[in-house]
Structure 1
C-alpha cells in the first residue's frame, strides 16, 4: 500500500507495529515532517507513555494541525493507546490540550480498588453492529467479544453518554467501565495494543489495512455494555540469556544462579537459542516473554549490545509484550562516551522491547532516595524512563532472600511470619534485597524497596525469591501477599514453580497478577498450554491459546 504512513513522534516501541504490518504483507512509510501527514492515504498513529509527553512532541514537531486536517479530510485513520487518547479534549495526566476530535477527558483509574496500571489481557465488548456490508470494512474491525487483547495503561476514557456515539467497544477493569476502542466514519482507534495482542490483534490490524477504513455510520446499531470482568492472569516465559564459552548466545538456567553443567563437563548449560525459544513460547500461548541478560556483555558498547539484535529478531515473529532486564543502567563506551540509563532503555524500546526491568540499580536508587529523606530528585533510571515512556514501561526486579529472626524485635526491618521455619526453628524472617545477581546483600528489605520504587515511578514488580529459585517447590506465597498488600501496582510472582498445581496455588492464595517461570518451560517439564488448561479447570481466568491468523 503506497500511501500507508505511520506517525512516530519518538516514544516507545514502534518496531513491533512495523513488524506486525509487514507480517500481514504491507509496507509503511514513516512521517518525517509535517507535510508527510497529508500525503497519506491511510495513517496509523501509535502512542506509548504519557499523554503530556505525546502532545508536547506533536506540538513541537508541528504535527498537531496537519494531523487534525488529515482526520477531517475523511481519509482512514487508526490510533493506538496514547494515539487514541490524543483524540480527546484532554487528560488528567497533563495540562496540555488534546486534539479535540472527540469530546471527553481521559481520567486516571481508581488506585484504591485495584492495581494500576491496568496491565494484561482483557476483553473488548463490541457495542456497534450493522446489517449490511460496508464496502469491505468490518464495522467491528474484526474485534471479537470472545477474544482478549493486551492493555497497558493507567489512564482511560470512562464510558458515558457524552462519548457514547463514538464508542465501538468497552472494557471493564475492576469497578470501572472504560472506552477500549472508538469508531466513527474514517476514525478507528484502540486503547489496547493490536500489535501485542497475538493473532487476535493481528486480525484487527489486517481489517484496517485490507478494508476501506471508512464505515457508513447511518447503518450502525448501538447497544449498551454488559458488566463483565475478564482480566486474565498472565503466564510469562522467562529466558535467562548469556554467552557460552564459545561466545554464542544461549538460554540457560541453573540452581541458585549456577548455570554450568555438573556432569559430563563444565560447560554453560544450553537450553536453546533465545529467538527460537521466544517464538516457541509465543506459539504455545505465553502472554509475555521476558529476557534477562545475565552475562558480562552488559559492558559492551551501547551500539554493540547483543540483546538489541535478539529483540529485533524476536519482535519479527513474537506479537506479545517483550521485557528486557539486565544492564539497564548508565553505559560508558570505550571512547569514554556516556549513555545514561534513559538512553539505553530507549535503544531497547526501539529494538522491540515494551518494558525494561531494573534490578540492582533499583536498590541503589532506593538507598539514595531513603538517604535523601524519601525525596525524589529525578536522577534515577526509574524516574527518567517512567517520565518519558510511562510507568508501565518500568519493571523493578527484586531478588530477596530470607533472614530469619526469632522475634520481630530483633530487627528494624519489616518481618513476615513464614511457613518455612528457619534452621533453629525461627518463625519470622525479613526479606533482604540483594544486588549483583544475588551475590551481595544490602541493608534494605523488600517492603522498603517496592514502596519506594512505586513512588519513584515503577509500574510493575517482578518478585523473585532466592530461597525458592531452582527448587521446584512452589512460589513464596507469604512474600507475594506481603508485597501485594504494600503496593498498588501489578506484581509478577517468580521463582519456585515446578508443576501445574503451583500456578493454581499461587492464584488461589495470593492476588498476584502474573506468574513467571523459566526452567520448567525450557525443558518442557510443564508446557505452557498444560498450565493454562489446568488453570481453566480450576476456574482461574487465563487467555486461551490462539494460533490462527
Structure 2
C-alpha cells in the first residue's frame, strides 16, 4: 500500500484543508516536505484557476509571508517553497496543467525533493491516476491511485510506522452557522431570519428583520467554534448575480479572518442581463469561488435539473449542477432542498416516497410526503425530497442542505422523519437544517439519524444558544465533535 509521509511542515500556514474521502492504493514510500525559512519569506503559489485560493492567500499573508504567483512553468522551477492548492475535478485540473506546461515543471520540482505543500486536489494530482470519473492520468510522482468510493478510508496499516496518527472513532459531526443575507428597506445588507421563510417583522412597516452585519457575525461564529459558515443570499442579484458587488465584498472580507469552509448560495444559475449578454452558472460560481467561497449551494436550478433527469434518465452535462461539479469537484457543490410536508392518509395516495410520521398530522394523518419547492418556498414542484436527493447525487452534488419549511423558525427541533429519510437514501453528507431551538435538538438529530452536520441560524444570531454550548452538550452525550 502507498505510504505518504507528510513531514517537516514547520510553521507553515493555518490553511483550510478540505479533502473528500478517497482511498490511496499502491506501493513505495515517499516523503513530501514543506519548510518555512523566515529569512526568505516568499511563498510561491500555484493557482491554476479553479477553486477558492483567496483563503490560502489570506492565511499566508496573516503570517507576514509574501506571495509570488506562478505565471509560467519556470516560476515553479525557481520557487524556494511551493504551495499548490486545488479544488475541482481531477481530469479538468490535469488538462489545465498539461496545456500550460505546469505539469512537467511540477514533476521536476517535486522529484528534486524541494519544499512543497499540496492541498486537497493539489496533493491528489501527484498520484498515477484517479478513478473519480476515469481512470484519469495524474502526475505519476507517487505510485498509487485514488478511488472515488466515499465509504473507503485510509487504514493505519497503510501509513509509515514512524508516523503515528490519532484517529477519531468516528467522523466528527459538524455544527454550522447559517446567515441569511438580504438588503433591508434602506438598501443595506443585513443578516435576517425567517419564520417559515417570512423575514419581515410583523409590524405595519414590514421591515426586514435585522439581526446583525454579515461580516462581523461570521467572524464571531468562527471565534465561537463554528465548523463552517454558510451565507444564503435570499433575495440578492436574482436578475443580475455578478452585479451584486456588496455580497461579493462580504465574501472577500469574511475570508480574510474566517478559516473554516464558507458556503454561499443564491442566484446560481444561467442568466442573461438587461443588455442581452449571457452568463453561465459556471461563471457565477467562479466569481463566488474567487471571492472566497469554498462551496456553492444550488437551490431551484437543481430542482429543475433533477426533474429533467428523472424524466429522461439522461445526464445532459449542461446543467449548473453538472458543470460546476465537473470543474470544481463534487465536494464544492451543495444542493439546498426546501420541502414542505404534505399529509396523507395512505402512502398509496401519491407516486412519491412517503414516511410514516412520528407525530400525526393536524387531522390525524399518519403519513406524509415532502414536496420540494422553488423560488424561496413560494412554488411547489411535482417532485419529492427523496426523489430529488437521489437524482442530484447522481448529477454530481457532493452534499445536501436539507431544510424544512414547516420547521423553519419554530424552534421545536429538526424534522427527524425527514432527515432520517434523506440521510439514509444517499451516500453523500446531509446537513440537517430548520427548527433548532435548544442544544438537545442537536443531540437528537445526531442520535436518531445518520446526518453529518446540523445547521442553525436564529438561536445563534439572538445568542439564545452559544455554538460552544452545543458542542459541549454533544461531547457529553458521546457525539464526536471538534472542540
TM range (shorter): 0.7 to 0.9
Q: 1:12 to 1:340 in 2, by over 3 A?
A: same
Q: Distance in 2 between matches of 1:440 and 1:264?
A: 26
Q: Give the Cα separation in 2 of the matches to 1:479 and 1:263.
A: 33
Structural mapping, 1:19-58, within 5 Å:
19-58=58-97
**Cα distance 1:520–1:224, how it changes in 2: closer, same or farther (>3 A)?**
closer
Give ranges in structure 1 of 5+ residues lacking alignment.
114-155, 168-220, 545-549
Residue of structure 2 aligned with 1:8, choices 47, 52, 56: 47
Q: Which position in structure 2 is the counterpart of 1:237?
A: 177
Measured against aligned partners, the alpha-carbon deviations of 1:257-298 in whole angstroms (never above 9, x if no partner) come to 221222484321110010100000000000000000111433
Correspondence for 2:400? 461
CA RMSD after TM alignment: 1.9
Q: Does 1:72 align with 2:115?
A: no
Work out whether 1:95 is the aligned partner of 2:135: yes
Q: Give how far 1:229 is off.
A: 2.5
Q: 2:335 aligned with 1:295, yes or no? A: no
Cα distance between partner residues in 1 of 2:271 and 2:318: 15
Please name the residue that 2:271 is paired with.
331
In the alignment, the residues of structure 1 paired with residue 167 and residue 197 of structure 2 have an alpha-carbon distance, to the nearest angstrom, of: 45
Give the alignment's TM-score, normalised by structure 1.
Answer: 0.78
CA contact (8 A) 2:236 2:244 kept: no
Specify the alignment match of 1:496 in structure 2.
Answer: 435
Go from structure 1 to structure 2 and tell me whether the alpha carbon gap of 1:381 and 1:262 turns closer, same or farther (over 3 Å shift).
same
- Contact kept, 8 Å, 1:297 with 1:305, in 2: the verdict is no
**CA, structure 1 residues 483+351, in 2 after alignment: closer, same or farther (shift >3 Å)?**
same
Report the 3-state secondary structure (helix = DSSP H, G, I; strand = E; otherwise coil) of the residue aligned with 2:237. Answer: helix
Q: Is the 8 A contact 2:73 2:105 kept in 1?
A: yes
Cross-structure match for 1:199: none
CA drift of 1:301 comes to 5.3
Distance in structure 1 (CA, Å) of the matches to 2:78 and 2:166: 41
Could you tell me how far 1:96 is from its partner in structure 2? Answer: 3.6
CA distance in structure 1 between the aligned counterparts of 2:209 and 2:150, rounded to whole angstroms: 46
Aligned match for 2:213, one of 261, 273, 298:
273
Aligned counterpart for 2:467 among listed residues 499, 512, 528: 528
- 2:479 corresponds in structure 1 to 540
Q: Does 2:315 match 1:376?
A: yes
Aligned length: 443
Q: Could you say if the C-alpha distance between residues 335 and 157 of structure 1 is closer, same or farther in structure 2, counting changes exceeding 3 Å?
A: farther
**Distance in 2 separating the partners of 1:31 and 1:402:** 52
Deviations 1:342-399 (A, max 9, x none): 1111110111111111111111111111222x21111111100111111111111111
Question: Shift of residue 446 of structure 1?
Answer: 0.8
CA contact (8 A) 1:251 1:272 kept: yes
Structure 1 residue 88: deviation in Å? 1.9
Q: Give the TM-score normalised by structure 2.
A: 0.88
- Which residue in 2 is equivalent to 1:518? 457
Could you tell me which residue of structure 2 aligns to residue 82 of structure 1? 121
Shift of 1:99: 2.1
> CA, structure 1 residues 499+264, in 2 after alignment: closer, same or farther (shift >3 Å)?
farther
Contact 1:302 1:331 (C-alpha < 8 Å) held by counterparts: no
Contact 1:105 / 1:157 at 8 angstroms: preserved in 2? no
Equivalent residue of 2:201, what SS? coil
> 2:427 and 2:197 mapped to 1: Cα distance?
30
Matched, 1:105 2:145: yes
Deviation at 1:33, TM superposition (A): 1.3
Tell whether 2:287 aligns with 1:363. Answer: no
Query: What is the alpha-carbon distance in structure 1 between the residues aligned to residue 166 and residue 441 of structure 2?
Result: 33
Q: CA deviation at 1:158?
A: 6.6
C-alpha distance in structure 2 between counterparts of 1:393 and 1:477, whole Å: 26
Q: Give yes or no for contact 1:16–1:319 (8 Å, CA) kept in 2.
A: yes
Q: Partners of 1:301 and 1:230 in 2: how far apart?
A: 39
Q: Which moved more, 1:502-511 or 1:75-84?
A: 75-84
The superposition leaves residues 116-141 of structure 1 with CA deviations (integer Å, 9 ceiling, x where unpaired) of xxxxxxxxxxxxxxxxxxxxxxxxxx
Pair 390,426 (structure 1): closer, same or farther in 2 beyond 3 Å: same
Contact kept? 2:87, 2:328, Cα under 8 Å? yes
Matches of 1:90 and 1:160, distance apart in 2:
22
